[in-house]
C-alpha cells in the first residue's frame, strides 16, 4: 500500500446519494439511488457495473459536474483539504488530446487553466511524462502516438496540477485487450508512485478486481448500489494473481451481486 496519511475520517464520504435525470418527452431516469460508501486517502476504488448503472453519474458528482438530488457528498478531511477546482484530475475513455498541441503542451492544459506557474508546471509535466513512460515524446503531436500512448499522456495531463483525487471513466475501454492489461499494470505503478486517491469506472469485472483496493458494485434497472468489496490481494499486483483462487472468488462474488450467476 501507499504511505497515505492515516486519517480517522475517510477522504470521500457518500451517504444515500441519489440522482435522477429529467428528460423531455420521456420518463425521468434514475441514475443513482442509494450510493453509500467511503474512500480512504490513497485508495484505488473501482466502480463496476453494466451500462446505465450510474457509474459515470457518480464520477461526475465527485467531479463537481453534477449535483446530487439528495444525500451527502463530502470530499476531503482534516489531513487532506479538498479544493473542488484544483484537486480533481480526469481521464476519459478517449484520450481527448488537443490535436494541435504537442504532447507536453497537452499535459500542461490543466496547469494553464488553473493559472499555475508555467515553468514549474513544465518541469512537473516532464517528470510525469517520464512516469507514464513517454519521455522523449514531449515534442510529438498526438497523431504520432498510438492509442495506448495517447492515453498515457492523458493520465499525465490528469496529474499535472497535482490533484488529490483522480477520476477515471473507463480509461482503457477503447484499447485492445493486450494493451489494456499492460495499462492496468502501468496504472497500478503510477498509483503507487503518485500516492493519489483514484476512482476508476469500468465494466470489466476482472479489471476492477485486478486494480482496485475496493470494488463498488452497481446494478442497473433499478440503479442501486449492490455491494462494496474490499480486495485483499497483495501489492504490488502481478498478472499471475489473476489465476489465484481468491481472484476467482472475488469475480464470482461480483457476478452474483450483479445477478448474473
Q: Which member of 147, 195, 204, 227 binds another protein (CB under 8 A)?
A: 147
From candidates 2, 34, 36, 94, binder to another protein by CB under 8 A: 94
Contact between 116 and another protein per CB under 8 A: no
Q: Is 124 in the site for another protein (CB under 8 A)?
A: no
171 counts as binding another protein under rule CB under 8 A:
no
Residue 65 in contact with another protein, rule: CB under 8 A: yes
> Nearer to another protein by C-beta: 161 or 224?
161
Cα distances (angstroms) measured from residue 14 to each of 35, 58, 70, 170? 7, 10, 11, 21
Alpha helices in 6-146 (DSSP H): 55-62, 103-107, 109-114, 118-131
Residues ≥6 apart with Cβ < 8 Å to 145: 103, 134, 137, 153
**Least separation in angstroms between CB 156 and another protein:** 14
| Residue 50 to residue 203: CA distance in whole angstroms | 6
CB of 10 to another protein, least distance (A): 21
| Cis status, amide bond into 181, omega within 30 of 0 | no
- State yes or no: residue 64 binds another protein (CB under 8 A): yes
Site membership for another protein, residue 113 (CB under 8 A): yes
**Can residue 79 be called a binding residue for another protein (CB under 8 A)?**
no
Q: Are 192 and 146 in contact (CB under 8 A)?
A: no
Q: Check binding of 148 to another protein (CB under 8 A).
A: yes
Query: Which residues of this chain interact with another protein, rule CB under 8 A?
Result: 60, 63-65, 84-86, 88, 90, 92-94, 96, 98-100, 109-110, 112-114, 133, 140-149, 161, 169, 176, 178-179, 182
Amino acid at each position: 500500500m501507499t504511505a497515505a496519511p492515516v486519517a480517522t475520517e475517510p477522504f470521500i464520504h457518500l451517504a444515500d446519494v441519489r440522482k435522477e435525470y429529467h428528460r423531455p418527452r420521456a420518463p425521468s431516469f434514475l441514475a443513482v439511488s442509494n450510493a453509500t460508501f467511503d474512500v480512504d486517502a490513497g485508495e484505488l476504488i473501482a466502480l463496476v457495473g453494466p451500462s446505465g448503472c450510474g457509474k459515470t453519474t457518480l464520477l461526475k458528482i465527485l467531479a463537481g459536474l453534477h449535483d446530487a438530488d439528495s444525500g451527502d457528498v463530502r470530499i476531503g478531511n482534516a489531513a487532506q483539504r479538498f479544493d473542488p477546482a484544483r484537486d480533481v484530475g480526469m481521464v476519459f475513455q478517449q484520450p481527448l488530446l488537443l490535436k494541435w498541441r504537442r504532447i507536453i503542451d497537452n499535459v500542461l492544459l490543466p496547469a494553464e487553466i488553473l493559472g499555475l506557474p508555467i515553468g514549474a508546471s513544465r518541469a512537473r509535466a516532464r517528470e510525469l511524462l517520464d512516469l507514464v513512460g513517454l519521455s522523449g515524446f514531449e515534442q510529438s503531436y498526438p497523431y504520432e502516438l498510438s492509442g495506448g500512448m495517447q492515453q498515457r499522456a492523458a493520465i499525465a495531463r490528469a496529474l499535472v496540477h497535482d490533484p488529490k483525487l483522480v477520476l477515471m471513466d473507463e480509461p482503457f475501454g477503447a484499447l485492445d485487450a493486450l494493451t489494456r492489461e499492460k495499462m492496468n499494470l502501468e496504472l497500478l505503478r503510477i498509483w503507487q508512485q503518485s500516492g493519489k486517491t483514484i476512482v476508476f469506472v469500468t465494466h470489466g469485472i476482472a479489471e476492477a478486481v485486478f486494480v482496485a483496493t475496493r470494488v463498488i458494485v452497481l446494478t442497473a434497472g433499478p440503479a442501486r448500489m449492490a455491494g462494496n468489496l474490499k480486495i485483499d490481494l497483495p501489492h504490488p499486483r502481478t498478472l499471475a494473481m489473476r489465476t489465484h483462487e481468491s481472484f476467482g472468488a472475488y469475480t464470482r462474488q461480483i457476478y452474483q451481486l450483479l445477478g448474473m450467476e
